Amino acid sequence: MSPTNPGLDLPFHRLREVRDAVLHLHKALLHSERGVYEQSHGPIKSKGEFFQLVVGDEWFSWLRPLSQFIVEIDEAVSAKEPITLDRANELLNEARSLLHPSEEGTPREQRYYQAIQRDPDIAFMHAAVSNLLSRDR
């Protein structure tokens, strides 16, 4: 639900923009990881097999928090109760934390860093999301 407080308009709008950009990035990351997975394990034969790998295989586990985050935003903005400024800012901060690549960080941060290094489209999408998240902090 849209906020009823006009002061929430900017964070609420930003949250929707971030959600859309993260969803686009998430799809690109899944596609990229599929390619790397197939190089190591052979072709994935169907969409169903790929789905099962995404939800259950350790290879894709680093992407699950991002999947859950997208659902979390969707639930927050479509809830019966209007989203609060604190909740909107909390979700934006969570996005900043999830989308932090690091060559020497956590396994998730390392895998994200590697994806950015190997795929210029992902690097571009990361830059776009980072730009959204850095505005009016």
Which tens digits make up the pLDDT trace of 84-119? 889 988 999 999 999 999 999 999 999 999 999 999
For residue 2, what pLDDT band results from cuts at 50, 70 and 90? very low
* Model confidence band, residue 7 (pLDDT cutoffs 50, 70, 90): low
Query: Identity (one letter) of the amino acid at 53?
Result: L
Give me the helices (H) in the chain, please: 9-41, 47-56, 64-78, 85-98, 107-118, 120-134
Domain count of the chain? 1
Q: Establish if 2 belongs to a structural domain.
A: no
Task: Say if 107 falls within a structural domain.
Answer: yes
* The model's pTM: 0.88
> Which residue segment(s) compose the domain that 12 sits in?
8-134
Among 135, 72, 71, 134, CA closest to 99 = 134
Q: Is residue 3 part of a domain?
A: no
